[in-house]
Amino acid sequence: MLINGTSLEDDVYGDVEDGIGTITLNRPDRRNALSDAMIEGLATLLQEMQESDEVGAIVITGAGKAFCSGGDVQDFDAKGGEGGGAGEVDQDAVEAQRRAQRLTVGAIHASRTPVIAAIPGAAAGAGLGLALAAHFRIGSERAVFATAFGAVGLAGDFGVAWLLNDIVGPVKARELMLLNPRVRAEEARALGLLNEVVPEDGFDQRVRELAQQLADGPAQAFGSMLDNLRRASSETLEQSMDAEVPLHKATGLTDDHIAAVRAFVEKRQPVFGRRRIAAEQETR
């Protein structure tokens, strides 16, 4: 299991505590620019956490003062450009990157476990894609967004164009992609790129509070809610309602639902998932 095998020296490392899985992008000297090892480790950690019954929420963040600056431009320069100085597109490289994108941005966007992007500073290029794919984005006052691709003569990858179009609409997405402005925290919140902006000294605490709230919630219900919300952007109302029903009925059979109904009748707060099971075990 990679979660227990990573360390603070790795390009990306993960840990799980009290139902919260945290993934930290860890190249602070490069503003957490993506390396092959980071992408591979991120994909593996995401899969393990999404499949674990011990993880009710996932936090992705960056070590140091940045979230993720995207592709490693210093590496591009050293090898003669993103294409490695070749005269034509390497189709094997195309397929490798398609896979990497599906296992990172795609896995975050499709996750049935809620994912929070905790953004202490810059999120740019492919790093912006990782952030935008998350279900919640919490930024410190130092958070700043940039598409960055045009600045290095690239078209863009890691789903940034699709995600921006979905979140801010086509007019603003074109502006952000082609003009590459630096979008600071409060503007990002106004555009819907951030859910919250938090002072630096309270940033970690607020991320933890939100992650704990999600981790302590009804996991199956949350997963089905996220399924419904993803379909809503591509289906008609009738199609969405038809698809909602079996998921709704399935959650109606869960222990979480039964316990929550009892708590409602008894006029107390419900206790879900791991905390409910632990509480039940204590009373036996």
- pLDDT digits 0-9 by tens, 68-97: 999 878 877 777 767 777 778 889 989 999
Is residue 25 over pLDDT 80? yes
Burial 232-260 (b: 16+ CB within 10 A, else e): eeeeeeeeeeebbeebeeebeebebbebb
Instruction: List residues bridging with 57 in a β-sheet.
Output: 20
Between 280 and 105, residue with greater pLDDT? 105
Q: Which amino acid is at 225?
A: M
Burial (CB count <10 Å: 0-12, 13-18, 19+), residue 143: buried
C-alpha–C-alpha distance, residues 48 and 28, integer Å:
24
pTM of the model: 0.92
* pLDDT above 70 as % of the chain: 94
184: Cα within 13 Å, side-chain hemisphere: 3
- Residue-level pLDDT at 107: 98
For each of the domains in the chain, give its residue range(s) and CATH number, in order of start. 3-215 (3.90.226.10), 219-282 (1.10.12.10)
